[in-house]
Structure 1
């Protein structure tokens, strides 16, 4: 195995067969020791967070694969906290795509003049550049196209997939009485036909979920859900 990338919450290795192995860590993003899925730095280490994140990821990716929604997922080993995936090419230097169902976090910080905290949103899709130096700035469809990061047709595909996948996660959580407020995804291009697929993970560390109006920590979410 060849180490290709050391990330905040996982390491990426290249396997001999050309696929990749993601090693999930116990580090989660946050500020001053408080978890925040939108933060640009590791805020804290939660023992068991890696395996918990992988359990949820495996659960959701397998549901998406059953539904015919394209992902890079091949299989997962919970004991080793690893996931085998197809090689994918990211957009530019990486994009994050957020699907929002309620006004919280950075959405509220930016649009607080108009938005009320917890206000319902209709699966609002927001794209940000992965750029720690500039604090992951939001970017519009036109700018993505003009800067050659993705075409307008690809943007529409990305938006549609984001809402589709977000709704699958939202419906699954709702079965346990849990409400999804927002969720962050990453996408890439796979294969010779450059198919756009979901990559990375779907875990408590990538979403804000609430039960009876109370925020659920990532590790608690995994226990409650699975």
Structure 2
């Protein structure tokens, strides 16, 4: 997140990094930042078009968009296909590697 010449506006840039386990695992996925920006901008544009106010102003480039400066609500959505990691710690009765079909979603 970058400051701009307007103190009320920030520039948000998406990168190709992906992490797991609070940063213990780190990889790069080519073009992830572009896809993340496209998805984010589409979602916020749809919300704005339906009269739901958001912080979104406009897409600035493939990886960047402008937004109003705001306090972030600390919500994380996790989608799980396979039982592993922290899920197993919270659900020790589950066998490691169990495939979830459909996906399991958790809001943290």
Same fold (TM over 0.5): yes
Higher relative helix content? 1
Q: CA deviation at 1:111?
A: 2.3
Distance in 1 between the 2:36 and 2:79 partners?
20
Which segments of 5 or more consecutive residues in structure 1 lack a partner in the other structure?
1-11, 31-38, 121-178, 186-226
Correspondence 1:44 to 2:27: yes
Root-mean-square deviation (CA, aligned residues, Å) is 3.3
Q: Could you say which residue in structure 2 is the equivalent of 1:14?
A: 3
TM-score of the superposed pair, with normalisation by structure 1:
0.37
- State how many pairs are aligned: 103
CA contact (8 A) 1:102 1:182 kept: no
Deviations 1:63-96 (A, max 9, x none): 22223334211111343x11111111236xxx23
Which segments of 5 or more consecutive residues in structure 2 lack a partner in the other structure?
none
Q: Which runs of 4+ in 1 moved over 4 A?
A: 99-105, 115-120
TM-score of the superposed pair, with normalisation by structure 2:
0.68
CA contact (8 A) 1:76 1:82 kept: yes
Distance in 2 between the 1:110 and 1:15 partners?
42
CA contact (8 A) 1:75 1:83 kept: yes
Taking the TM superposition and a 5 Å limit, the aligned residue runs for 1:68-87 are 68-79=51-62, 81-87=63-69
